[in-house]
Each structure stands twice: as structure tokens, then as C-alpha cells.
């Protein structure tokens, strides 16, 4: 088969997500070489805070983390920080279980080798979480560093590093936790402002119908949560308006 036709077929397979006719290009493409998992790789570009391109066209998704998407708070900062970490350097890839994702991207941990043999290598995925530039998102079966990422995210959140201090992600995370609590309806149908007391030290926050997180907030009076008839009443009780509410 002429070389141009072969390259055209490869380009088609890549565009279709890495698979065609039952064959997975990412898994079987011969030019990866048998030493792919052990040799250093050159970073060609950083696509966002959790995706890079190596060699000529190979996309790699950083395992166990999830960076802000384009248009979301801290997208640019996350992308720039990852670029700063791996710019003009060689990286090593570490596979867990899956190997490839649903979009044909490689799923890997990114490692920077420390020239000092007695010092620890730099785990880029974990660094992104620890410094507040990405969320942890460990999905089965790729759970090798699950506990490490969980501990790193807790440290970043408590210290309000990166996006945890600059964005509303702390409040959103708290709202998701509150969803799992028991919910008590208001005794007065005219008093529907929800005042929620955070167990994580995020303060006393109230929201009203029209706030993006209102329906997710549960009211548990045993924890100090309560309903209010007005914003003035809520603020007099020491609650502040949720950042998810339009002003």
C-alpha cells in the first residue's frame, strides 16, 4: 500500500478517536515502541490543566485529577501552572490499569525524575492537586494514588490554595456534602430562605430560590441550620449571602 494512503488511514483512525474496525490505535500503534513506558518523552504542548500532547501527536490525560474546563474559574491558571511544571523538560509516564480513556487518550501519571537518586521524584498529577490547580478525581480501576490525592486535596482546600481561595469551589463542595444530609421543610411557607451552617469551617451561608445551589442545600436544625423570612433576618443571625446567588 502506498505510504500516502497508509498515512491517510492513520489520520482517519486518529480523528475517529483512536479505534477503527475493532483495533485500538493507541494500544497497538507500532511506533510507540516496546520502551514507551520506560523512556523519557518530550512535551509538545499543554492543552489544559489535565491534558498534554507528547511526541508528535499523542494526547495524554493525567490520571486521578480533573482541572477546570475552559470558561470555568481558574482554567487559565491551571493550564499555565502545568505548563510551568513540565515546560522544556522530559517526562516519564506511569500507567495504572486502564491505559486508554473513552476519547482515545492515554491515561497516565506524569513523573519528573529527580537527578538526585536519594530524593523523591515529582509526581505532577499530585502536585496539581496539592497546589490547588486541579481536583482529585480517582475512578476505578485506576486507584493506585487515590489516598495520596485525597490527602493532597484536603491540604489544598484547608489552606485555600489556588482555585480553592480564588473560586467558589469550596462552597460548591460543601453544597454537595449538604445534599447527603437529612432535609427539614420550612414550617412557614413564606419563610423559605435557607441558612446552612458548615461543618468544615466555611461559615454560615444563606441562599434563596434563584440561587444556583438552593435546591441542593438541606436544612438540618440539629446542626444549627434554619429558615429565614428575609435576608435582613438571616444577616442579623450572622449568615452571609451565598456567592451562588445573583445580587
Give the tens place of pLDDT for each residue, 188-237: 999 999 999 876 566 899 999 999 888 888 898 877 899 999 999 999 99
**pTM exceeding the 0.75 threshold for the entire prediction:** no
pLDDT of residue 10: 44
Q: Helix (H) and strand (E) counts for the chain?
A: 8, 14
If one counts every other C-beta atom within 10 angstroms of the C-beta of residue 16, the result is 11
Q: Residue 5 above 70 pLDDT?
A: no
Mean pLDDT of the chain: 84
Q: What is the mean pLDDT of residues 144-166?
A: 94
Looking at mean pLDDT, say which of 86-90, 102-106, 232-236 comes out highest: 232-236
Q: Which residues of 125-156 are buried (b: 16+ CB within 10 A; e: fewer)?
A: bbbbbbbbbbbbebeeebebbeebbeebbeeb
Amino acid at each position: 500500500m502506498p505510504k500516502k494512503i497508509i498515512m491517510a488511514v492513520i489520520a482517519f483512525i486518529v480523528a475517529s478517536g483512536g479505534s477503527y474496525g475493532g483495533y485500538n490505535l493507541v494500544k497497538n500503534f507500532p511506533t510507540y515502541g516496546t520502551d514507551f513506558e520506560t523512556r523519557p518523552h518530550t512535551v509538545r504542548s499543554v492543552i489544559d490543566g489535565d491534558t498534554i500532547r507528547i511526541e508528535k501527536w499523542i494526547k495524554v490525560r493525567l490520571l486521578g485529577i480533573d482541572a477546570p474546563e475552559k470558561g470555568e474559574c481558574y482554567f487559565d491558571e491551571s493550564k499555565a501552572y502545568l505548563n510551568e511544571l513540565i515546560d522544556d523538560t522530559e517526562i516519564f509516564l506511569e500507567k495504572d490499569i486502564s491505559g486508554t480513556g473513552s476519547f482515545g487518550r492515554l491515561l497516565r501519571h506524569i513523573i519528573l525524575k529527580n537527578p538526585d537518586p536519594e530524593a523523591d521524584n515529582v509526581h505532577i498529577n499530585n502536585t496539581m492537586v496539592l497546589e490547588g490547580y486541579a481536583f482529585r478525581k480517582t475512578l476505578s480501576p485506576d486507584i493506585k494514588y487515590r489516598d495520596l490525592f485525597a490527602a493532597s486535596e484536603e491540604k489544598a482546600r484547608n489552606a485555600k490554595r489556588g482555585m480553592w481561595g480564588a473560586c467558589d469551589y469550596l462552597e460548591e463542595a460543601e453544597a454537595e456534602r449538604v445534599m447527603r444530609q437529612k432535609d427539614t421543610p420550612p414550617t412557614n411557607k413564606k419563610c423559605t430562605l435557607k441558612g446552612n451552617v458548615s461543618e468544615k469551617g466555611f461559615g454560615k451561608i444563606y441562599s434563596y430560590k434563584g440561587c444556583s445551589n438552593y435546591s441542593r442545600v438541606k436544612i438540618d436544625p440539629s446542626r444549627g441550620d434554619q429558615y429565614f423570612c428575609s435576608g435582613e433576618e438571616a444577616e442579623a443571625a450572622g449568615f452571609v449571602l451565598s456567592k451562588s446567588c445573583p445580587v
